[in-house]
Amino acid sequence: MTTHTALAIEASGLVKTFGEERAVDGVDLAVPAGSIYGVLGPNGAGKTTTIRMLATLIQPDAGSARVLGHDIVTEADAVREAVSLTGQLASVDEDLTGRENLVLLGRLLGYSRGAARERADELLDAFDIAEAAGRLVKHYSGGMRRRLDIAASIVVTPRLMFLDEPTTGLDPRSRNQVWEIVRALVAEGTTILLCTQYLEEADQLANGIAVIDRGRVIAEGTPGHLKASVGTGSLHVRLLDPARRAEAAGILERTVGTVVLEPEPSALSATGADAERAAIGVAELARAGVPLADFSLQQPSLDEVFLALTGHAAEEAAAAEPSPSADTLQEHAS
Amino acid sequence: MTATTRAPGSADTAAVRRAISSTPRPARPGPLSAALTFGWRGMLKVKHVPEQLLDVTVTPVMFLLMFTYLFGGAIAGSTSAYLDYTLPGLLVMSVLFTTVYSGVGLNTDLTKGVVDRFRSLPIWRPAPLLGSLLGDSVRYVVAGTVIIVVGVALGFRPDGGFPGAVAALALVVVFSFGLSWVFSVLGLLMRTPNAVMNAGFMAIFPLTFLSNVFVDPATLPGPLEAFVDVNPISILATASRSLMAGDPDGGAILVSLAVAAALAAVFLPLTTRLYRSR
């Protein structure tokens, strides 16, 4: 046992510049072994570049990192032995069939021809791609392709897996399938570094989260911790009778928190609502005889997390100028 | 989100867990085994995307027919005499055109992200590059064979016979190994597969025409003749011609091999370096 066994990834001060742009600007990470660790951030925040460094695809310009106890620069081969990578674009060969992709990787990992075929068939069955095994990957659906991509990453079960935006662009059903697979992987002992743009995904899967913005980690903690630091979310209420909105607003203002009247004339929401206060608020509305069409307690979105942490919205984070405007109450992903 | 029932995933979780836990890691493959596996990948691509092969073989066959029957009589007095002159050169053209696809294929891999997966594997680093060369060599041989077979069908009967034709094909394929690294570098530097294709043909097309593949350079204006005489493609075509005629021109063969070696010596290390840093 070395001193590194508790941490699967230890990175300090990682920097990568492309020309003028500092894509990664001093990232520190401490990822405990056996967990799912989420790296949350908008497009262009430096997530993928960080993963590419940790997976030994590119070398950092400054800083250092150890993956499963091995230095990513001086012991790159040892790192490669233990990790696998699932890319943002499904990194499988489109001009080959699903089975050929898996056999190819099996052979490259050292299986004999027969063992590689056997392993490929086992994975195709488990990931529900057996019927499409003989089709070229370019004809696969998005979900199928992503499953093949993950299957390709576990031809030999890695000790650490980099999952870069595994559900971007998937429909909810395919997304759930991918989540199930990810949970199964962790249950079998693989550590996962999950990059995502979705707070919900990180919340569903990750034990710890680092929020990354403009190449830096700007917040770190458990999903609950993070949400608590952002605010607890908001209570959304829709009334049967729009005429009583002012009355309802008064009640919620008193019992929950700041009330925002929404564009729809029967809807309003109260921010700063935890479950208990929301329950009281709804109960007070009922007691006052204000009939409700529906109500919901919503978690803060990534936008709100970003607004709270950085003073600018997630979508704008990749752009040059921060603009701490309030127009982040647009439609949320969830 | 207030989902109380979860959509059943069709991936069977128990089977997934079994598949995950049942993997003893095999020993790393040796460099040769890894390269051969990439060679197999190259063959599979030829199998699945035969259109690529079609592109490069159809053009030279078209040239063969056009030049022989349109210009053959005017250039060489008769179509059969011209066929004897131009076919060994068209063999060179046909195979060299195919080398552009080495760069196109490499660039396609890069844009698809599949290279990232290969590079994250604990394998001998140049294995993907050398392996794709193996796949490419199949394409070279097919492209060369097609043009020879079409030539024979049209009445081409070289004095060197079958061994001469095989020797000429072998020489051209070896030369192509050297040249393909130039296009691999191009494939690593350019942004899209199409750009590689355009740039590649922009280079190889005029070089092929400004050679002795189609016409005897003695008929050209002085400065042009001087260029055509030193164009490596002319020298390779001369070597190919001599082998097919059963009268090997040792000098031309040696120069062809030396040029191939020089191209590989410069562009192979450049390719591996660029590949590593991409």
Give all domains of chain A, ordered by start, each with its CATH number. 7-227 (3.40.50.300), 232-297 (3.30.70.100)
Q: Which residues contact B67 (CB under 8 A, 6 or more apart)?
A: B75, B82, B86, B214
Q: What is the pLDDT of residue B167?
A: 94
Q: Does A81 touch chain B (CB under 8 A)?
A: yes
pLDDT in tens, B194-207: 999 999 989 998 99
CB contact under 8 A, B10 and A94: no
Say if residue B93's pLDDT is above 80.
yes
Q: Which residue does chain A place closest to B105, by CA atoms?
A: A95
Q: What is the pLDDT of residue A313?
A: 57
Q: Does B5 touch chain A (CB under 8 A)?
A: no
Say if residue A329's pLDDT is above 70.
no
Q: Which of A43-57, A100-114, A217-231 is the most confident on average?
A: A100-114
Q: Give the residue-averaged pLDDT of B163-168.
A: 92
pLDDT in tens, B95-120: 998 898 888 888 888 888 788 888 88
Say if residue A193's pLDDT is above 80.
yes
Say if residue B1's pLDDT is above 70.
no
Q: Residues of A with CB below 8 A from B12's CB?
A: 126, 128
CB contact under 8 A, B26 and A115: yes
Q: Give the residue-averaged pLDDT of B50-54.
A: 78
Which H helix or E strand runs over B172?
Answer: helix B161-189
Q: Residues of B with CB below 8 A from A155's CB?
A: 23
When the pLDDT of each residue in chain B is averaged and rounded to a whole number, the result is 86
Say if residue B57's pLDDT is above 60.
yes
CB contact under 8 A, B122 and A177: no
Q: Which residue does chain A place closest to B113, by CA atoms?
A: A91
Q: What is the pLDDT of residue A328?
A: 33
Return the percent helix, strand and coil in chain B, to nearest 5: 80, 0, 20
Q: Which residue is it, tokens 């898996």?
A: A102
Among A111, A125, A181, beta carbon nearest to B26: A111
Pick A315 or B66 by higher pLDDT.
Answer: B66
pLDDT in tens, A28-59: 999 999 899 999 888 888 888 898 899 888 88
When the pLDDT of each residue in chain A is averaged and rounded to a whole number, the result is 83
Crossing angle of the two packed helices B193-209 and B79-112, in degrees rounded to 10? 160
Say if residue A102's pLDDT is above 90.
yes
Q: Which residue does chain B place closest to A156, by CA atoms?
A: B23
Q: Residues of A with CB below 8 A from B193's CB?
A: none
Q: What is the pLDDT of residue B134?
A: 82
- Give residue A20's pLDDT band: very low, low, confident or very high (50, 70, 90): confident
pLDDT in tens, A264-298: 889 998 877 778 888 899 999 999 999 999 998 88
Q: What is the pLDDT of residue A232?
A: 65
- Give residue A333's pLDDT band: very low, low, confident or very high (50, 70, 90): very low
Spatial distance between the Cα atoms of A11 and B194, rounded to a whole number of angstroms: 39
CB contact under 8 A, A154 and B34: no
The torsion angles phi and psi of B177, rounded to 5 degrees, stand at -55, -45
Q: Which residue does chain B place closest to A188, by CA atoms?
A: B21
Q: Could you tell me if B197 and B180 are in contact, meaning their C-beta atoms sit under 8 angstroms apart?
A: no
Full DSSP string of A188-255: TT-EEEEEES-HHHHHHH-SEEEEEETTEEEEEE-HHHHHHHH---EEEEEES-GGGHHHHHHHHHHH
Q: Which residue does chain B place closest to A120, by CA atoms?
A: B19
Say if residue B83's pLDDT is above 80.
yes
CB contact under 8 A, B26 and A188: no
Say if residue B11's pLDDT is above 70.
no
Q: Does B218 touch chain A (CB under 8 A)?
A: no
Full DSSP string of A7-30: EEEEEEEEEEEETTEEEEEEEEEE
pLDDT in tens, A207-223: 899 988 888 888 888 88
Among A128, A154, A157, beta carbon nearest to B12: A128
Q: What is the pLDDT of residue A89?
A: 59
For the record, the structure tokens of B38 come out as 């990439």
Q: Does B121 touch chain A (CB under 8 A)?
A: yes
- Looking only at the bridges linking them, the beta strands covering A21-32 and A160-164 are unpaired
Q: Does A76 touch chain B (CB under 8 A)?
A: no
CA A292 to chain centre: 34
CB contact under 8 A, A92 and B116: no
Q: Which of A153-157, A256-260, A330-334 is the most confident on average?
A: A153-157
- Give residue A101's pLDDT band: very low, low, confident or very high (50, 70, 90): very high
Q: Give the residue-averaged pLDDT of A50-77.
A: 90
Q: Give the residue-averaged pLDDT of A101-106.
A: 94
Say if residue A332's pLDDT is above 50.
no
Choose the weakest-confidence range: A237-251, A281-295, A310-324, B248-262: A310-324
User: Please, what's the largest Cα pairwise distance for chain A?
Assistant: 74
Q: What is the pLDDT of residue A98?
A: 94
Among A152, A156, A177, beta carbon nearest to B23: A156
Q: Name residues 5-64 of chain A within 8 A of B (Cβ).
A: 52, 55-58
For the record, the structure tokens of A22 come out as 């500092």
- Looking only at the bridges linking them, the beta strands covering A191-196 and A160-164 are parallel
Tell me whether 0.85 is exceeded by the ipTM: no
- Give residue A126's pLDDT band: very low, low, confident or very high (50, 70, 90): confident
